[in-house]
Amino acid sequence: MGFIRSALFVIASVLLFLLFIVGNVFLTLNLSLDYDNVKPELVSVIQNLVGDEIDEAYFSMEATCQNNSEFVFSHEESGQVFVIPCEIVLQGSDEIINYSVNSFVEDSYYKNYDCDFFNCFEDTENSFFFVSEQAKNYWKSKFHFVLVISLFLIALMFFLIQGKKNLPIVAGVLLILASLPFMKINWVMSFFSNNQFLQFFTISFSKSFNVFLISLSVGIILILLGFVLKLFGIGFQISNFFNKFSKKEISEDKEIKKEFAKSKKGK
């Protein structure tokens, strides 16, 4: 029975380690796809995408704005339609690009994409889905799911492990080990920053070092908690020992007093 429990505990520990890695991936994607984090990275991508076309269409914009209050510009590759106020057009091509890019980024991020997560791969018009709020919420839900499964597995491990106080230490060590690959993901992703398509992946993993620090900190806290519990256990054992010792002394004193009382009566 002891061997079976130990084997099940090892299997559960391996599964927990894998869940920690998967959970860290989902947490990285969730944190990385925050709008304030996505915007600066996405601006440079979209600026390269639409900048040249806006420069080429500038004279057409000026001509249109002589009799209209806005210019409608359609970008064929992305399927994005820009409605540019003529007051922006009159400020020059740089302002038009800034206005168009910022509008593109905001619209793309908060857009409600009418496709399932994996179906969006097939439609080029939905290519910005992967750096959108919808994608962020998708990864957030997956992280919460993995977190619940991990807590359930830790509860199961509590019944399998013999030294219960060692469980936080085991979980902490596994979490620290699962955090280590995320320390260098940013460095690996930097090699793909010049590729327009793969740049989306660099954006999606930009917060990997933050996740490394979070997992490392939680792992250290769990290990310290385990040692504190073990110290409390040792403290209770020492306290019990002295309590037993003092009780023994009291009982011996009582016996001595009884013997003394009997001997006094005998006299």
Among candidate residues 33, 56, 27, the one with its CA nearest the CA of residue 105: 33
The pLDDT value given to residue 14: 96
Residue 69 has pLDDT above 80, yes or no: yes
Residues 93 and 17 in one domain: no
Residue 76 has pLDDT above 70, yes or no: no
Residues 117 and 169 in one domain: no
Residues 156 and 216 in one domain: yes
Of residues 184 and 123, more confidence is placed in 184
**Cα 60 to Cα 92: distance, rounded to the nearest angstrom:** 13
| Residues 1-16, mean pLDDT to the nearest whole number | 87
Residue 67 has pLDDT above 90, yes or no: no
Quick: pLDDT tens for 32-42: 999 888 888 77
Among candidate residues 23, 9, 4, the one with its CA nearest the CA of residue 167: 9
Residue 142 has pLDDT above 90, yes or no: yes
How many CB atoms within 10 Å of residue 119?
12
Residue 184 has pLDDT above 80, yes or no: yes
Task: For the chain, give the mean pLDDT.
Answer: 80
142 within 8 A of 164, measured Cβ to Cβ: no
Query: Which H or E run includes 257?
Result: helix 208-266
Residue 241 has pLDDT above 60, yes or no: no
How many CB atoms within 10 Å of residue 134?
18
Residue 133 has pLDDT above 80, yes or no: yes
Residue 210 has pLDDT above 90, yes or no: yes
How many CB atoms within 10 Å of residue 26?
21
**pLDDT confidence bin for 196, thresholds 50/70/90:** low
Domain boundaries, position 178 = 1-33+135-233
Residues 19 and 63 in one domain: no
Among candidate residues 196, 177, 163, 206, the one with its CA nearest the CA of residue 27: 206
Residues 127 and 140 in one domain: no
The pLDDT value given to residue 235: 47
Out of 101, 131, 161, a domain closes at 131
Furthest-apart CA atoms within the chain: distance in Å: 132
Residues 229 and 139 in one domain: yes
**pLDDT confidence bin for 97, thresholds 50/70/90:** confident
> Does residue 239 fall inside a structural domain?
no
**Cα 75 to Cα 73: distance, rounded to the nearest angstrom:** 7
153 within 8 A of 19, measured Cβ to Cβ: yes
Q: What are phi and psi of 34, to 5 degrees?
A: -65, 145
> Does residue 262 fall inside a structural domain?
no
Count up the domains in the chain and report the number: 2
CA 125 vs. chain centroid, Å, equals: 28
> Does residue 255 fall inside a structural domain?
no
* DSSP codes, 29-43: HHHHT-HHHHHHHHH
pTM of the shown model? 0.78
The pLDDT value given to residue 233: 67
> Does residue 263 fall inside a structural domain?
no
Of residues 4 and 121, more confidence is placed in 4
Residues 127 and 150 in one domain: no
The pLDDT value given to residue 53: 75
Quick: pLDDT tens for 152-178: 999 999 998 888 889 999 999 999 999
Beta strand 80-85 pairing with 70-75? antiparallel
Q: Which residues pair with 29 in a beta bridge?
A: none
Among candidate residues 224, 124, 126, the one with its CA nearest the CA of residue 172: 224
Among candidate residues 160, 241, 263, 211, the one with its CA nearest the CA of residue 22: 211
| Residues 103-109, mean pLDDT to the nearest whole number | 81
Tell me the CB-side half-sphere exposure of residue 235, using CA atoms within 13 A. 6
The pLDDT value given to residue 136: 92
Quick: pLDDT tens for 252-267: 455 555 554 555 555 5
The pLDDT value given to residue 55: 74
**pLDDT confidence bin for 129, thresholds 50/70/90:** confident
